[in-house]
A and B are shown apart, each in its own frame.
Chain A
């Protein structure tokens, strides 16, 4: 009898895997088709509005230079951000997939900046991004140039490393802070803060009973001052936070997307819309 149950179980799981693959495939295809139609309609309205009405007998699209196309995108993305009921102040991009694609992640970071998100964290549970920090930074700067064109100068990206420097305030129209995280920032970070407090207790500068949630929170945060993530976008089929900042995600909305590979802006924005619809009662 056990053999029969096992056989049925295996069949069930094979079917589920197949369903997941098919759904993923269909979702991307139908989605892209629907969104292409929608975006063309919106662009057709906005392009003349941005550049003034062009009285060309030929197709406008062919004659709009690439720089203007990028500006058009930037305008669309900015207005997308403003159209949402709420936008996260800090977004965590959790890549739960084996092989990260730096260009796609860089695109995600640039879109976050373009819609108006101030803090972006990038995380994977094997510490790959931490080890290849400069490669990721270079890719982000490259994609910033690629996607935002001339306007990329109006956007400042501050990369936070493990130093205690505060991000500099610059008088630019858009500023974003990007941080690369790894599992070492999770539980090991809490252990370090605990050791710091215990040292103060050993030196009799504090008593054990002095510690409360706010004090531990300040010890953890240090002087970097990044707020808690409001939203984690998880890419991949693993249903777990995989060690991402356990202390900081107490109220974080966790939205899953199937993959970051070839991720489109439309997919990314749909997740933001999902976030905008979430209601937090904060215990009340």
Chain B
């Protein structure tokens, strides 16, 4: 497979992997693959060469992740901000994407054998139509695979993603599926492009920069952040091990913080449901019943109704998303036949 290198770890690498696996391992790792252009400058080659090497390094890293039993990887391939770059560089990156996605479609058998599910996250409407169609084909072809997951953020920024999630919730209100008070952290989680993935356990950024650059801002609030100074095309298995060790050192504290946040979230939702149930009773003229039993029942009824509304909305949202890819795919089948 061109996207995942063939090959096994060396003896030393296997030994180190087994030692690492004795401790808690991240299930989902996110990469900001930074440093391709600086690498090209360092080697006195063209920028495009730097990006190509960067892709090869991605394929190698995915192999290491599989060896380490890390089943989900998200990568920041192209930011909406990157459209500001020189035209020839942007065109070069689009051409690289075209080649790689086309190649992916030729390797469907391999992808099925290894159970690789490809997802592309971002505002795909900003991309050239032919690339959108290639992406749609790749996503639909691998939709039901479930052994490992690769999420490619392309034409993506986190703020656009969060804004889009709020827009989807507002669409739900427009359609009469949900009420504004149904909007919660859980609902917005499900409206993000990453709704089918758990939050990343570990985020790695290479090239020495110490910022998130509008990548997975919502999803990485309790992730372990590791900033490594190595340039992405020079990334090694040992750099990955170092990052995983950092994750393991932070694991306990982060788990504690995550649990605290989850508890607070549950309490906030319960409180919101109580307020809404009380308001509803007020509106229906029954006022606040003095019997705590009746009050409790009113809250439970409200919670069940809210969850029902949210469930219908999320089903409709998933259908809307699937239609986007199937429509694109129909378009490409039609133009192939013509």
Which residues in A have some Cβ–Cβ distance to B below 8 Å?
1-2, 5-6, 8-10, 12-13, 16-17, 20, 125-126, 183, 186-188, 190-191, 193-195, 197-199, 201-202, 206-209, 211-213, 216-217, 237-244, 246-247, 249-255, 278, 280, 282-284
Contacts A16-B245, A217-B159, A254-B227 known; 5 new A-B pairs at CB < 8 A: A208-B170, A249-B212, A250-B214, A280-B211, A283-B81
Structural contact, A241 and B218, CB atoms closer than 8 A: no
* A251 → B minimal CB distance (Å): 6
* B190 → A minimal CB distance (Å): 13
Structural contact, A126 and B220, CB atoms closer than 8 A: no
**A202-B173, A249-B217 are known contacts. Are A216 and B254 too (CB-CB below 8 A)?**
no
Q: Which residue of A lies closest to B220 (CB)?
A: A241
Structural contact, A283 and B82, CB atoms closer than 8 A: yes
Structural contact, A240 and B222, CB atoms closer than 8 A: yes
Structural contact, A216 and B210, CB atoms closer than 8 A: no
* A167 → B minimal CB distance (Å): 26
Give every chain B residue within 8 A of A237 (Cβ-Cβ).
Answer: 249-250, 253
Cα separation A17 to B248 with both chains bound (whole Å):
11
Which of A198, A211, A216, A238 is close to B180, meaning CB atoms less than 8 Å apart? A198
Q: Which of B208-235 contact A (CB under 8 A)?
A: 209-214, 217-218, 220-227
* B273 → A minimal CB distance (Å): 14
A-B contact pairs, 26 of them (CB 8 A): A6-B22, A10-B22, A13-B23, A16-B249, A125-B257, A188-B185, A195-B180, A198-B170, A198-B173, A208-B167, A208-B170, A208-B173, A211-B163, A211-B167, A239-B250, A240-B223, A240-B250, A241-B220, A241-B225, A244-B221, A247-B217, A250-B159, A250-B217, A251-B211, A254-B212, A282-B81
Give every chain B residue within 8 A of A250 (Cβ-Cβ).
Answer: 157-159, 212-214, 217
Give every chain A residue within 8 A of B114 (Cβ-Cβ).
Answer: none
Q: Which residue of A lies closest to B225 (CB)?
A: A239
* B166 → A minimal CB distance (Å): 4
Structural contact, A253 and B210, CB atoms closer than 8 A: yes
**A198-B180, A247-B159, A250-B214 are known contacts. Are A216 and B166 too (CB-CB below 8 A)?**
yes
Q: Which of B148-200 contact A (CB under 8 A)?
A: 157-160, 162-163, 165-171, 173-174, 179-181, 183-185, 188
**A252-B212, A254-B211 are known contacts. Are A197 and B166 too (CB-CB below 8 A)?**
yes
Structural contact, A239 and B183, CB atoms closer than 8 A: no
Stretch of B97-105, B260-268, B320-328 lying at the A interface: B260-268
Which residues in B have some Cβ–Cβ distance to A below 8 Å?
18-23, 79-85, 157-160, 162-163, 165-171, 173-174, 179-181, 183-185, 188, 209-214, 217-218, 220-227, 245-246, 248-250, 253-254, 257, 260-261, 264, 268
Structural contact, B245 and A201, CB atoms closer than 8 A: no
Structural contact, B260 and A126, CB atoms closer than 8 A: yes
Cα separation A6 to B214 with both chains bound (whole Å):
38
Structural contact, B171 and A213, CB atoms closer than 8 A: no
> B163, B184, B209 — which one has the most chain A CB atoms within 10 A of its CB?
B163
Cα separation A217 to B162 with both chains bound (whole Å):
11
Which of A187, A194, A213 is close to B169, meaning CB atoms less than 8 Å apart? A194
**A201-B170, A213-B163 are known contacts. Are A195 and B181 too (CB-CB below 8 A)?**
yes
Which of A13, A191, A206 is close to B188, meaning CB atoms less than 8 Å apart? A191
Structural contact, A186 and B221, CB atoms closer than 8 A: yes
Give every chain B residue within 8 A of A8 (Cβ-Cβ).
Answer: 19, 22
Q: Which residue of B lies closest to A234 (CB)?
A: B225
Give every chain A residue within 8 A of B245 (Cβ-Cβ).
Answer: 12, 16
Cα separation A202 to B181 with both chains bound (whole Å):
11
* B317 → A minimal CB distance (Å): 12
Give every chain A residue within 8 A of B250 (Cβ-Cβ).
Answer: 237-240
Structural contact, A207 and B218, CB atoms closer than 8 A: no
Give every chain A residue within 8 A of B181 (Cβ-Cβ).
Answer: 195
Cα separation A216 to B211 with both chains bound (whole Å):
22
Give every chain A residue within 8 A of B222 (Cβ-Cβ).
Answer: 240, 242-243
Structural contact, B183 and A284, CB atoms closer than 8 A: no
Structural contact, A194 and B188, CB atoms closer than 8 A: yes
* B270 → A minimal CB distance (Å): 14
Which of A10, A199, A243, A252 is close to B221, meaning CB atoms less than 8 Å apart? A243
Which of B179, B209, B264 is close to A278, meaning CB atoms less than 8 Å apart? B209
Q: Which residue of A lies closest to B250 (CB)?
A: A239
Give every chain B residue within 8 A of A195 (Cβ-Cβ).
Answer: 180-181, 183
Cα separation A163 to B163 with both chains bound (whole Å):
25
Q: Which residue of B lies closest to A2 (CB)?
A: B22
* A36 → B minimal CB distance (Å): 28
Q: Which 9 A-B pairs have the closest CB atoms?
A: A283-B81, A208-B170, A198-B180, A9-B22, A250-B214, A6-B22, A208-B171, A194-B166, A5-B22
Give every chain B residue within 8 A of A193 (Cβ-Cβ).
Answer: 166
Q: Which residue of B lies closest to A12 (CB)?
A: B19
Give every chain A residue within 8 A of B225 (Cβ-Cβ).
Answer: 239-241, 254
> A202, A239, A246 — which one has the most chain B CB atoms within 10 A of its CB?
A239
Structural contact, B159 and A238, CB atoms closer than 8 A: no
**A197-B166, A240-B250, A250-B212 are known contacts. Are A183 and B261 too (CB-CB below 8 A)?**
yes
Cα separation A229 to B22 with both chains bound (whole Å):
39
Structural contact, B173 and A201, CB atoms closer than 8 A: yes
